[in-house]
């Protein structure tokens, strides 16, 4: 890895990243501390609100299209993370897409195991629809566990007969809580952020004894037909890479449009480091253009 910025980033992640093998309280404190170090553009305005009964943070900016919305589901392995911690990334994606972003504070495990997060995601989307925003002017986005939640919510909404959003962006999605992908082992040495033991620990908290392949928690195993177009952006240096590659195969088999982008050398949710990584900025800009195009039909 010749890039000095990447070398510095990987070293920092290995030294200061959260330990998902730890107890929830410890992991939450560590992950929250990491998120606090990520700068947020002062051009954004943030408002705390509720979407239905679900807390959320709205990110707006000058020139934002008021007729649309990006609904964002944060990462953190279903146990850590917050809308506040991810407000900057949600805002950047909203600005790239041209619409306000709404980061959702869905309930976390182990206090609220699966399917609490899915219930909150669905409720937040329905609140946007009730506010008068049409589904074709809404896009979903999420990273890591939030990427899995994005897909699980789409499946639930389809099953409920709710009109679906125009498209969805999945960033480094965690889609298989059974952790059976090949790259769980083959990319372990390359990944500076995640470990197999950490993922399995968080999965146990979220699933709370339920089948780890339950589609509400592991949407890789769901029926993926009838979903809106999916854009998946994932790094080549992450143990969850095979979640994305398997999703591309399963979605294609189900006749669902999917664009899989594998970014060489990039770590898990590299978009969060847009302030230092040119590749992250490029990925956000590409995603914004793609989502906007879907909203415009």
Gyration radius of the chain's alpha carbons? 17
Our CA angle for 260, 147, 268, nearest 5°, is 75
Contact 148, 175 (CB under 8 A): yes
For residue 95, which of 288, 296, 264 has the smallest C-alpha distance?
288
Q: Which of 60, 82, 144, 193 is catalytic?
A: 144
Q: Which of 212, 218, 242, 268 is catalytic?
A: 268
Q: Which of 92, 172, 212, 238 is catalytic?
A: 238
Q: Is 92 a catalytic residue?
A: no
- Residue 186: count of CB within 10 angstroms of its CB: 12
Tokens in use for 116?
């609490």
Q: Is 238 a catalytic residue?
A: yes
Neighbouring residues of 190: CB distance < 8 A, sequence distance ≥ 6 = 236, 237, 238
Q: Is 274 a catalytic residue?
A: no
User: What phi and psi values does residue 130 have, to the nearest 5 degrees?
Assistant: -65, -25
Beta bridge partners of 47: 58
For 124, the 3-state DSSP assignment is helix
Look at the alpha carbons of 83, 88, 94, 97 in this order and tell me if their dihedral is positive or negative.
negative
Catalytic residue positions? 144, 238, 268
């Amino acid at each position: 890895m010749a890039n000095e910025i990447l070398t510095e980033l990987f070293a920092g992640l290995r030294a200061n990243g959260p330990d998902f093998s730890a107890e929830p309280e410890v992991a939450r404190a560590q992950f929250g501390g990491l998120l606090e170090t990520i700068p947020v553009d002062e051009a954004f305005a943030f408002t705390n609100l509720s979407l239905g009964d679900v807390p959320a943070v709205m990110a707006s900016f000058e020139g934002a299209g008021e007729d649309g919305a990006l609904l964002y589901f944060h990462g953190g392995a279903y146990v850590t993370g917050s809308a506040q911690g991810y407000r900057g990334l949600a805002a950047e994606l909203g600005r790239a897409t041209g619409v306000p972003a709404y980061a959702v504070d869905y309930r976390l495990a182990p206090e609220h195991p699966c399917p609490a997060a899915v219930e909150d995601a669905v409720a937040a989307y329905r609140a946007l629809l009730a506010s008068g925003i049409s589904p074709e002017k809404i896009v979903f986005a999420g990273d890591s566990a939030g990427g899995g939640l994005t897909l699980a919510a789409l499946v639930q909404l389809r099953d409920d007969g709710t009109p679906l959003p125009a498209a969805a962006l999945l960033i480094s999605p965690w889609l298989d809580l059974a952790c059976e992908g090949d790259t769980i082992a083959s990319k372990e040495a390359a990944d500076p952020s995640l470990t197999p033991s950490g993922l399995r620990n968080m999965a146990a908290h979220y699933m709370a004894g339920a089948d780890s392949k339950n589609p509400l928690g592991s949407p890789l195993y769901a029926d993926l037909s009838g979903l809106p177009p999916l854009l998946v952006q994932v790094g080549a240096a992450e143990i969850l890479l095979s979640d994305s590659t398997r999703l591309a195969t399963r979605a294609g088999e189900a006749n669902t449009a999917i664009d899989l982008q594998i970014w060489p050398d990039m770590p898990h949710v590299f978009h969060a480091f847009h302030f230092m990584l040119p590749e992250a900025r490029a990925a956000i800009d590409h995603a914004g253009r793609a989502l906007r195009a879907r909203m415009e039909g």
